[in-house]
Amino acid sequence: MIDLEGPVLVTGTDTGVGKTVVTAALASLLLSRGNSVEVIKIAQTGDENDAAEITRLCGVRARALTAYPDPLAPFSAARRSGLPLLELEDVVEAASDVQSDVVLLEGAGGLLVQLGAGGWTARDLASELGCPAVVVARAGLGTLNHTALTLEALTRRVIEAAVVIGAWPAEPGLAELENLKDLPGPRLGRIPEGAAALEPEEFRRRAPGWFDLSESPDSVLDQVTGEASLLITSSGTALRMKKLMALTLGVFSAIGGFVDLGDIVASGVVGARYGLGLTWAVVLGVIGICVFAEMSGRIAAVSGTPVYGLIRDKLGPGAALVNLIASFAVTLLSLTAQIGGIALVISLASHIPHIVWVIPVGIGLWLVIWRVKFDNMERAFGLSGLTIAVFAVALWWLDPDWGALGQQVASVAPPAGEPLPTYLFYAIVLFAAAMTPYAVFFFSSGGVEEGWKPSDLRTQRLNVMLGFPLGGLLSVGIAAAAATVLLPKGVDVKTLDQVVQPAILAFGAAGLAVALFGFFAATVGAALECGLSCGYAMAQYFGWPWGKRVAPKRGARFHLTVGLCLLVGVLVVQTGVDPIQVTEYSLVFTAVALPLTYLPVLVAANDPDYAGEHVNGRLSNGLGIAVLAVIVIAAAAAIPLMILTRMGA
Amino acid sequence: MNTWHGRESVDLLTDLIDRELVDPDGLPVGRVDDIELRRRPDGLWEPVAFLTGTAALERRLPRWGRKLINRSAKLTGGPDDTRRIPFEAVTDVNTSVSITRQAAEAAASPAEERIKRKVIGRIPGAGHASQ
Amino acid sequence: MRVNELIGAPVYNVDGSPRSYVIDVRTRAEHGTLVVDGLVIGRHHWRMFGYEHRGEHGPILLRWAVGALHRHTRYVSWDDIVLEGDIVQLRRDWEDLPRLPGLNS
């Protein structure tokens, strides 16, 4: 089914098929989905005022770009009246320069009627804008041919289309009923005859019911975010398949998205020094992040409030400001580390020093945030991050002493000769690497952006409960590989190319390529999350409009904040500071700042205002408090241990 | 009818202040930074308007916070006057306070507008949500 | 008058001793509008996390902690106070004021 976002052309198989009523009905549908809409009538001809009619029916702002007095095709009407013709560029600009989520463009007459200077048609407009077309068709005899011709004309220019029957008779005859079965194209809806005569309130109320946004069973499974798939299609299997795909993708994205530069470095360093002896810390971290993310996600789905939204409400502006400054600083530090990490990864692949790459990386990140669609972005980097599994595969390939590894996992004390404080320091570092708050800011804000509802709870819970633990396994894979290859050699991991060794050892250049690709995806994904989270935290504290789902113009301060943070990150890394060191500091401070963000979320998860009927039960609260205890201990011990052990030397 | 948007009792600080004000599209307009009370002829006091803006927020912060916010606001041409949203403009209350479109437009942040015009609006593609 | 002028204002008992601060302003719904009903007053002005009027099913530890912190919190009806500049003067003795419902559970 076509995407009802941005500009959408409403055209017809003929004149008088009901485009105006369909436009008004579509607008009502979009309003009912929470979108903002406006309508542009490209050229009004004759005495009628379609724009006013649309506004009357559905209350949406509608205007005509130009009007000609004669009831002819616009090109001809203009010629007769001597009034100027519309330029295609002007219409494209008018259609692009709107504030609403969707702008419906109503043509005049059929698809290939000439509308303006040079004879451009509605089809040319849709092609220029890259937007889909809604084709309004008749119900009765003759419609099959007209509809097929119109659709073919659109397909020729690669314009996506869907069909709406403009006036379905109250008492359909044989022709109408047969045509209903044979009408080509994805069927978007069917407007009953006489709809324009309804009272506007009734029209608005009934209009959404005239449409069917579900996928037809033969179409490609493209819209996998599960949007509007609550309507029954004629093939229940296709619907279930689609939901399953959405779930799988979500889980895989979470797995791949779990790992960032902090996890990579911490796992590599720890693996080379303690083998798998600190796996218990990773387990604690994974449990912690699952609990934290689940509560935040639940709150986002039930109340539409992202984490930073509730912090100010729960703590008051003063305490929340302290919180904001701390979280913002830590997230910015993480962002800096990730940017450095990306540059490092590219330098490992290209043999050109990382300093050179910093500015291009910064620009690239900003462009992605500026232009790329939210869920595509998340999915792409999450899935690509799965390739970090190459370390687990390398491990298996290198045939390690599984028994020894198993023993290490079970141990909760430092190996002989290793001082306890350093051991505990690294435990905190690993724990913090798993429990990064920015991930939770991003996750919950993303949930609000994607419009999660309570019905999405189960899916999101599964994403979290499956995705994060499996993501933790990826980190453990890096540590285990390091344990097998680097620990016996007594390597003290300080650089990224050391962490990559096991992959090279097992698979040579191919292993290196895959590992670097995975690191690239993980660090880019993390950098995007950190950058956006800085913006989310700031915007949500102050109450600014925010998000990628609105045009940057409508979230100006949000985008400015994100842009400035990227700039700061780039500048800091340009000074030549070692990104690995920055990462280690960012992890320590993450641990310290955690309680500030976690506690209000735990409290909000118990508040019916925020969690509705899905407030924490005994188990959630038990786990929640246990995690809180660990977080507080880690926060208290982090800096003293850092100083005592001189950053784990 | 003794409820106000479904509530019999409202604690102004806990239930309304620091909540988000959102327009009919769900976009934030600002946060409730303060509430204006007015005395009625019969002697009772009633809350009449929400106040939002850096100036109203500053007053509630400790001194260091006030200075920080004030200096930061100055960087972007602020701090701006407090904007006022009458209680009648409220359309719904849950974890955020929904207000009418007119009230939202009247209460739009001048800082947002300035930055839109001077910075973000100048960059190509600012008019499109990520597609 | 603004709500924040009231919040945190010192509250003096009938005998003139400073006992507490204003924590919140409670209103009641009347004919579709809100009307100030009274003040929530207490020793500290830490946020109560919304417990004071909902008898939350919170994590028991937190409820206990909040309850302990707010054991001195009371509610005073608007008729029982006088506003003198930026000070609230009680017209009813502190000891007679009801404890806040919801915190006792």
pLDDT of residue C46: 60
pLDDT band at A99 (very low <50, low <70, confident <90, very high): confident
Model confidence pLDDT, tens digit, residues A425-469: 999 999 999 998 888 888 888 888 888 888 888 888 888 888 889
Distance from CA of C14 to the nearest CA of A (A): 30
How many Cα atoms are found within 13 Å in the side-chain-facing hemisphere of B29?
Answer: 29
Handedness of CA A511, A517, A521, A526 (dihedral sign): positive
DSSP secondary structure letter of residue A208: G
pLDDT band at B83 (very low <50, low <70, confident <90, very high): very high
H helix intervals, A69-213: 74-81, 88-96, 122-129, 143-156, 174-182, 200-206
Nearest Cα to A13, choosing from A105, A113, A89? Answer: A113
Contact C26 B12 (CB under 8 A): yes
Chains that touch A (3 or more CB pairs under 8 A): B, C
Pairing of strands B83-86, C10-12: unpaired
Distance from CA of A316 to the nearest CA of C (A): 7
pLDDT of residue A467: 86
Element at A356 (helix H, strand E): helix A354-371
Query: How high does pLDDT run on average in chain A?
Result: 86
Tell me the DSSP string of B42-109.
TS-EEEEEEEESHHHHHTTS-HHHHHHHHHHHHHTT-PPPPEEEEGGGEEEESSEEEE-HHHHHHT--
pLDDT of residue A227: 37
Instruction: Give the list of residues 6+ apart from residue A172 with CB closer than 8 angstroms, or none.
Output: A139, A180
| Residue contacts between B and C (CB atoms, under 8 Å) | 90
Query: How high does pLDDT run on average in chain C?
Result: 78
pLDDT band at A378 (very low <50, low <70, confident <90, very high): confident
Model confidence pLDDT, tens digit, residues A297-355: 999 999 888 988 888 888 889 889 999 999 999 999 999 999 999 999 999 999 998 88
User: Buried (b) or exposed (e) across C63-87, using 16+ Cβ within 10 A?
Assistant: beebbeebeebbbbebebbeeeeee
Contact A371 B62 (CB under 8 A): no
Model confidence pLDDT, tens digit, residues C73-92: 888 999 888 888 788 888 88
Instruction: Give the list of residues 6+ apart from residue A89 with CB closer than 8 angstroms, or none.
Output: none
- Interface check for C57 against chain A (CB to CB < 8 A): the answer is yes
Q: Does the pLDDT of residue C62 top 70, yes or no?
A: no
Active-site residue, from A41, A242, A314, A548: A41
Distance from CA of A314 to the nearest CA of C (A): 6
Tell me the DSSP string of A409-468.
HH--SPPTT--HHHHHHHHHHHHHHH--HHHHHHHHHHHHHTT--GGGHHHHHHHHHHHH
Contact C27 B87 (CB under 8 A): no
Residue of C nearest to A619 (CA): C59
Contact at 8 Å (CB) between A295 and A585? Answer: no
How many angstroms separate the CA atoms of B128 and A104, rounded?
Answer: 15
Distance from CA of C24 to the nearest CA of A (A): 12
Instruction: Give the list of residues 6+ apart from residue A178 with CB closer than 8 angstroms, or none.
Output: none
Contact A371 B18 (CB under 8 A): no
- What is the distance of C-alpha A531 from the center of its chain? 14
pLDDT of residue C105: 34
| Residue contacts between A and B (CB atoms, under 8 Å) | 121
How many Cα atoms are found within 13 Å in the side-chain-facing hemisphere of A604?
Answer: 31
Model confidence pLDDT, tens digit, residues A233-242: 444 566 667 6
Model confidence pLDDT, tens digit, residues A136-195: 999 887 888 899 889 888 887 778 889 999 888 888 888 888 888 788 888 888 899 888
- Specify which residues B84 forms β-bridges with: B51
Q: What are A2's two structure tokens?
A: 């076509």
Instruction: Give the list of residues 6+ apart from residue A621 with CB closer than 8 angstroms, or none.
Output: A606, C58, C59, C60
Contact B35 C3 (CB under 8 A): yes
pLDDT of residue A402: 86
How many angstroms separate the CA atoms of A13 and A137, rounded?
Answer: 6
Contact A34 B25 (CB under 8 A): yes
Greater model confidence, A275 or C49: A275
Specify whether A243 is catalytic: no
Model confidence pLDDT, tens digit, residues A2-46: 888 889 999 999 888 889 999 999 999 988 888 889 999 998 888
Q: Does the pLDDT of residue B97 top 90, yes or no?
A: yes
* A7 prior amide bond cis, ω within 30: no
Phi/psi at B2 (5° precision)? -100, 45
Instruction: Give the list of residues 6+ apart from residue A167 with CB closer than 8 angstroms, or none.
Output: A17, A18, A21, A138, A139, A191, A192, A193, A194, A195
Mean pLDDT along residues C49-65: 59
Could you tell me the pTM of the whole model?
0.71
What length is written for chain C? Answer: 105
pLDDT of residue A104: 94
How many angstroms separate the CA atoms of A608 and A298, rounded?
Answer: 12
Residue type, A276: L
H helix intervals, A186-306: 200-206, 236-258, 261-274, 279-303
Instruction: List residues in chain A touching C: CB distance below 8 A.
Output: 314-316, 319, 602-603, 606-609, 615-616, 621, 624-625
Ramachandran category for residue A591: left, alpha or beta (phi over 0 → left; psi -120 to 50 → alpha)? alpha
